[in-house]
Amino acid sequence: MGQIKGQLGHRGAGRPPDLIGLLARLILGAVLAVAGGLKVTSPASSARAVRAFQILPYDLAGYVGYALPVVEIVVGLLLVTGLFTRASAVVGGLLMVAFIIGIISAWTRGLAIDCGCFGGGGTIAASQTQYGRDVLRDVGLAACAGWLVVRPHTAYSLDHRFFG
Amino acid sequence: MRPDASKKIAKVTPKGGPNPVVIGAIVAAVVVVAVVVAILIGNSGKSGSSTGASGSSAPVGVVGGTGGGILVNKATAKGNAPTLDLYEDFQCPTCGELEKAMGSRLASMAKAGQVKLVVHVLSFLDANLKNDSSSRAANAAACAADAGKFLEYHSAVFAGQPAQEGAGYTDAQLTQFAKTAGITGTALTTWQKCASSGQHAQYVTDVQTGAEKAGVFGTPTVKLNGKDITKTLTTGDALVAQVKAATK
């Protein structure tokens, strides 16, 4: 009985954990894809936003700024479609951890910058900084990634369709 | 937790289904190519330094090496005067407000030699506003520096700043600013050539790079002897008082 139920659940979409996984995939994937899409058309701004954190050396920060939107878009699309869910979630989760470290670092060093997460970036008035909100959002997204790394099996995924 | 089947899947190609290894390799290749292309495109925007590229030398008055700002009052600055570094983008509305609030005060302090006024004209807003007005205006201002009229040109640009951020500057406006700044005759002809050819374009890029390397990621930024005093500049008097205090 348990055996049959498990097999049916494997194919179906109705199991609650699979639906939670689907939700995690869509939230993390959509946010990544949108964030990347907003930045990919202005690489100079993206590079400057990364440099404004003043963590990486000037040139390396530039490369990260140019590459990051592309990586975000690809990982975002993979997550939304549910292809290579676990690997994509690992990358997405590592990105979130890096972002959280970067934002907290800027915060504690007293910088007044826009995280540039969805475009923009650079120095802003101290009263306009939103470090707490940004960190909270990224912690939530990291939690989505964590769920998917532990349990990559989700409803309506291409992993399902392609690889069984 | 369900056992991870990925290893098993990787070993055997499912009947009739796509091969995960093949798809994975394709996805990985796409990512690598896209990242390389993105970095190449990003890097193509900037190259080299002021020296070398023909016809794009640094303008008159540059201090602090490649990408340094323009010392506005070399002739009058007193030896004991503190250095005031001003970082501005001609399309930045807050810079326009700063100019309105204390531009004339700054100019008179510079003329009296009470500060060594170094202006760094930035151009990062072009990327944000998706135009090229900051770079063109910065180049035009560098050309005005060659004519010995930098500060006058600087004031003229801010006086003519569009009400709407992002509207930018036409070439005709930039030329009008030169006339307002008092550039005439053969000097105006030289300025025109310099402005339309983008003679100092590389210098403009270098100034932006130099500012970011100095930790300046926003405008306006005002540094007095290297210390960021932007937040304290609530009034013109506050500026004067700080300059006085920094004078040895």
ipTM: 0.81
Domain with B155, as residue range(s), is 70-246
User: What is the torsion angle, in degrees rounded to the nearest 10, for the CA atoms of residue B14, residue B15, residue B18 and residue B19?
Assistant: 40
Mean pLDDT over residues B180-202, rounded? 96
Mean pLDDT over residues B175-204, rounded? 96
In a domain, B122, yes or no: yes
Task: State yes or no: pLDDT of B3 exceeds 70.
Answer: no
In a domain, A13, yes or no: no
- The string of pLDDT tens digits covering residues B94-118 is 999 999 999 989 999 999 999 999 9
pLDDT, chain B, mean: 88
> Are A43 and B221 inside 8 Å of each other by CB?
no
In a domain, B34, yes or no: no
In a domain, B88, yes or no: yes
E strand or H helix that includes residue B172: helix B171-180
Say if CB A13 and CB A155 are below 8 A apart.
Answer: yes
In a domain, A2, yes or no: no
Name chain B contacts of A163, Cβ cutoff 8 Å. Answer: 9, 14, 17-18, 20
Name chain B contacts of A74, Cβ cutoff 8 Å. Answer: 27, 30-31, 34
Domain with A126, as residue range(s), is 19-155
Q: Provide the domain count of chain B.
A: 1
In a domain, A3, yes or no: no
CATH code for the domain of B154: 3.40.30.10
In a domain, B173, yes or no: yes
> Are A42 and B128 inside 8 Å of each other by CB?
yes
Percent of chain B with pLDDT over 70: 89
Kindly give the parts of chain A with pLDDT less than 50: 1-10
Confidence class for position B177, pLDDT limits 50, 70, 90: very high
Name the residue among A51, A66, A84 with its Cβ closest to that of B24. A84
What's this model's pTM, rounded to 2 decimal places?
Answer: 0.82
How many Cβ atoms are within 10 Å of B54's Cβ, its own excluded? Answer: 5
Say if CB B116 and CB B77 are below 8 A apart.
Answer: yes
In a domain, A142, yes or no: yes
Confidence class for position B159, pLDDT limits 50, 70, 90: very high
Q: Provide the domain count of chain A.
A: 1
Lowest pLDDT segment from A40-49, B48-57, B129-138, B157-166: B48-57
Q: What pLDDT was estimated at residue B232?
A: 86
Place of tokens 């199991």: A15
In a domain, B20, yes or no: no
**Higher pLDDT pick, B87 / B17:** B87
Task: State yes or no: pLDDT of B12 exceeds 70.
Answer: no
In a domain, B154, yes or no: yes
Q: What pLDDT was estimated at residue A2?
A: 43
Output the DSSP codes for B46-104.
--SBTTBSTT----TTB-SSTT--EETTTTT--TTPPEEEEEEETT-HHHHHHHHHHHH
